Structure 1
Amino acid sequence: MDYILIGAGGHSKVVIDILKSQNEEVVGIVDDDPKRNSVSNTPILGTTEIIPDLINSFANAYYIVCVGDNRTRGDIVKRLEPLDLKYGIAVHPTAILGSNVVIKAGSVVMPNVVVNVDTFIGEHTILNTACTIDHECKVGQFVHISPGVNLAGNVQVGSFSHIGIGASVIQGLTIGSNSTIGAGSCVVNDIEDNIVAIGCPAKKIRSK
């Protein structure tokens, strides 16, 4: 299948690598920064303004928004909503997916990720390198689970939340929407919406 990526930052390099490992064709990248001309030998085709032309030229292409920041990724998807793009899924071949795992469109699963049985991953979510998502978790849309994060079983993560690198969440907890868990934190209690929490145990330091 043909893929067109939106965003030419470092995240796009990883997505290109994943797609090539799946023998998918990356046609090119669109990015609104005119200074960029290629990423990992993949051409920058133009700004997002040319996407209607790309839809005509590559009618069967899938798109992935390659932006690590959740809110920015969400804004791009919302802005492009009238174009009714087809969003693909990139899953690295080293990732391990249990039975009855659901991964929705636009999401990316990076190398050495483990997602265990009966887990749901929402749209446009990033499961970054070597994170583990255990059984029956529910991860919302536009979430970023950073490298080395461990979610125990039955954890729920609300949309637009970010779990920082190396953090751990014990079983059965809920992390609300639009919240941030700091790097290396240990979450042992529920975290409400719009909260920044850090430490071990993780404690609220401010509201968003």
Structure 2
Amino acid sequence: MDKPVIILGAKGIAQAALEIFNSNEVVTYGFLDEDKSLHGTEINVVPVLGHTEDEGFLKLIGKKCEAFVAVDDNKYREFLVKMLNDVRKVQPVNAIHKTSFISSDAAIGHGNFINSRVGLGTAVKMGSHCILHTGAIIDHQADLGDFVQIGAGSIINSGVKISKGAFVGSGAVIVSGISIGKNARVGAGSVVISDVKDGETVFGNPAAPIKK
């Protein structure tokens, strides 16, 4: 990446995103965040410049800078991505740690956060704006939709399909061939041996739906 990057968000995964760009010798121009108390502060000597919707800084994106959206909350993440698409006519770049492994025939979209020691196997398909935390394993032919989040150390086995907006907690195991529905949630440490419906939350070994 030739241009420096502006990171939208200065909390949660933002500092990890900075480390990822540092690992790839990409210059981070600064952070933007909606929390005014952070403006004028620094994260590892990189300044928090202003608000995520500050046109003065946003106008740099696509011309002098690239952008990466480092926001954990999916709704706000989607809002910022749409703003970049509509207003700046750009797609956020991927943040991929140099210690991760991505198969040569895996296909990934835009704006994904892929932390250290993540593995993406043969023929994996991953959409855009996903968050894959440290050490997650995505085995061959798994299919991840947009805005999916996978916790640290989770194992997504071969042929698993995870739909848009789903969340898989740290250390979970999804056995081969399972489907996880849109906006579903899998609790940390769970072992999922049957399909999870849209919007459903499951937990345990074996994972079972949590009654609301």
Alignment TM-score, normalising by the size of structure 1:
0.94
CA distance in 2, matches of 1:73, 1:165: 21
For residue 70 of structure 1, report the CA deviation from its aligned partner.
Answer: 2.4
Residue 35 (structure 1) aligns with: 37
Runs of 4+ with >6 A deviation:
none
AA of the residue aligned to 2:142: C
**Alpha-carbon contact 2:31-2:46 (below 8 Å) kept:** yes
| CA deviation string 1:167-207 (max 9, x = no partner) | 00000110001010000000000101000110111111147
* Distance verdict in 2 for CA 1:35–1:186, change over 3 Å: same
2:94 to 89, 95, 106: 89
Distance 2:60 2:119 in 1: 37
Confirm or deny that 1:76 pairs with 2:80.
yes
Summarize the alignment of residues 1-208 of structure 1 with structure 2, pairs less than 5 Å apart: 1-36=3-38, 37-51=41-55, 53-56=57-60, 59-83=63-87, 84-206=89-211
Unmatched segments (≥5 aa) in structure 1: none
**Does the Cα contact within 8 Å between 2:84 and 2:91 map onto a contact in 1?**
no
State the Cα deviation string for residues 96-142 of structure 1 (Å, max 9, x = none). 11121112110011001011010011110011100000000110111
Q: Give the match's secondary structure for 1:10.
A: coil
Q: 1:30-82 CA distances to partner (integer Å, 9 max, x unpaired)?
A: 11111002222211111123245442476142211111222332233234442
Give the letter aligned to residue 167 of structure 1: A
RMSD: 1.6
User: 2:85 touches 2:91 (CA, 8 Å); kept in 1?
Assistant: no
In the TM superposition, what is the alpha-carbon distance from 1:10 to its structure 2 partner? 3.0
Question: Using the alignment, how far apart are the partners of 1:111 and 1:123 within structure 2?
Answer: 18
Q: How many residues align structurally?
A: 207
- Of residues 59-68 and 139-148 in structure 1, the stretch that sits farther from structure 2 once superposed is 59-68
Distance 1:52 1:117, change over 3 A: farther
Q: Tell me the percent identity.
A: 30
**What does the per-residue CA deviation read over 1:137-169, in whole Å, with 9 as the maximum and x for residues that have no partner?**
110111110101001100010110100010000
Take 2:25 and 2:55, find their aligned partners in 1: how far apart are those partners?
23
SS of corresponding position for 2:81: helix
- TM-score, normalised with respect to structure 2: 0.92
Indicate conservation of the 8 Å contact 1:64/1:106, yes or no. Answer: yes
- Closer, same or farther in 2 for the Cα pair 1:34/1:167, shift >3 Å? same
Q: Is the 8 A contact 1:62 1:87 kept in 2?
A: yes
The answer to whether the Cα contact below 8 Å between 1:146 and 1:163 also exists between their aligned partners in 2 is yes
Whether contact under 8 Å (1:70, 1:144) holds in the other structure is: no
Give the Cα separation in 1 of the matches to 2:90 and 2:62: 11
